[in-house]
Structure 1
Amino acid sequence: MVTTQPIRIGVLGTHSTGKTMLLRRIEMELRAQGVAVERTGRLGKRAAAAGLPKMQHHTARSTEWIIAQGIADEIGAATRDAEVVLVDRAVHDAVAYFHAALEYRGDTVPRVENERLLTLAATQLPKYHLLLATVLDESVPVDTGHDYDARYRRLVDQHVHQLLDRDNIPHLRVTSNPDNQAHIVEEAVQSCLNEALV
């Protein structure tokens, strides 16, 4: 497989909806085909380690940090001879988490600040070959080691899909259905292999 620029596949969606596991499955399939893969991730934990608020406490500053760090991670991964970069939390994910946090708190942000974050995220859209958006299924149990606020989790899911639909951002929806997930993995892998042949 030979590409001049790495193929980028991004995933976004509310927490504990299988984003990381989905990318691991895609990575394993691509590696089995001899494709060099890099994966980014752990932005929320790294933001918290940097002293920034997360989840329902997100601010414009923490959102900007996550977007900027995510962009830097993608660039870094692309410089390590990756043919495919799998992005755990595509940039619009951070915007959706922020909008959900604002709604959760009954808070607002100045219009100019909101537009600035949306513009920053939008600059990255052309770099993604494929975006995958997980869909919340509250019947699937959440790891008890996580103390998630159910209302905030729902709000993030709503804002992710509203943002994608409102801006007509092309994406594939990933449900909790195993057949749907297997189909998405296969489609992502084939998309990478086909793109390499162009």
Structure 2
Amino acid sequence: MLGTHSTGKTRLCKHIERELRGHGLAVARTGRLGKRAAQAGLPTMQHHTARSTEWIITQGIADEISAVALGAEGVLAYWHAALEFRRDTAPRLERERLLILAATQLPKYDLLFATVLDEEVPVDTSQVYDPRYRRLVDEHAHRLLADDSIPHQRVTSDPDSQAHAIDVAVQRCLKRALV
């Protein structure tokens, strides 16, 4: 699941998790990597650096080994957006190293949801968000998916889109559970 902040990723994951548990499937969910990075003293949001991005990707990989979930492309979108927000550029080797690290994880996923920013939906007010940075993350996330031709399903804030995503995830998981 990837998308900019306050686009419904966590809510959608919780709905999918509840449905899967209702079908008797065991579910493991990882996340909160941005908060964990901040607790570790690493820069986040529009202050993301190559170091904080690498920490989040590798911590996500470690979490997956213990459980399952999370996409590295979303972390790269936050970093690219932070660079653009600060009008900065990444050194070529740093950029290539992070892209390769993220690319090693993509084959593990057979289903990827990408939430779409709807600026009419209010943001989580427990955190301070910069609207420009939020739009940049959304743009970079969808650009990364398109540029790399990564198969994904776009999920909007529309209830029908949300319900369809939940149904797709549940059906895919139930099918895999039978194999």
TM-score by length of 2: 0.98
Give yes or no for the alignment of 1:104 onto 2:85. Answer: yes
TM-score by length of 1: 0.88
SS of structure 2 residue aligned to 1:97:
helix
Counterpart of 1:66 (choices 56, 63, 79) is 56
**How many pairs are equivalent?**
179
CA RMSD of aligned residues (A): 0.9
1:71-150 matches, within 5 Å, as 71-77=61-67, 85=68, 87=69, 89-150=70-131
SS of structure 2 residue aligned to 1:16:
coil
SS of structure 2 residue aligned to 1:112:
helix
Show the counterpart of 1:12: 2
Q: Any stretches of 5+ residues in structure 2 without a counterpart?
A: none
Show the counterpart of 1:23: 13
Offset at residue 197 of structure 1 (A): 2.8
Task: Specify which structure has the higher proportion of strand.
Answer: 1
Q: Deviations over 1:130-189 (max 9, x none)?
A: 100000000111122221000000000000000000000000001000011001100110
Counterpart of 1:53 (choices 43, 61, 78) is 43
SS of structure 1 residue aligned to 2:29:
strand
Offset at residue 91 of structure 1 (A): 1.0
Q: Deviations over 1:76-117 (max 9, x none)?
A: 11xxxxxxx3x3x41111101000000000001111110110
Q: 4+ runs of 1 displaced by more than 6 Å?
A: none
What is the distance in 1 between the residues matched to 2:104 and 2:83?
A: 23
**Which residue identity lines up with residue 75 of structure 1 in the other structure?**
I
What is the distance in 2 between the residues matched to 1:18 and 1:98?
A: 20
What is the distance in 2 between the residues matched to 1:145 and 1:76?
A: 29
What is the distance in 1 between the residues matched to 2:64 and 2:104?
A: 13
Give yes or no for the alignment of 1:179 onto 2:160. Answer: yes
**Which residue identity lines up with residue 58 of structure 1 in the other structure?**
H
Show the counterpart of 1:32: 22
SS of structure 2 residue aligned to 1:133:
strand
Identity %: 71
What is the distance in 2 between the residues matched to 1:144 and 1:71?
A: 29
What is the distance in 2 between the residues matched to 1:119 and 1:156?
A: 20
Task: Specify which structure has the higher proportion of helix.
Answer: 2
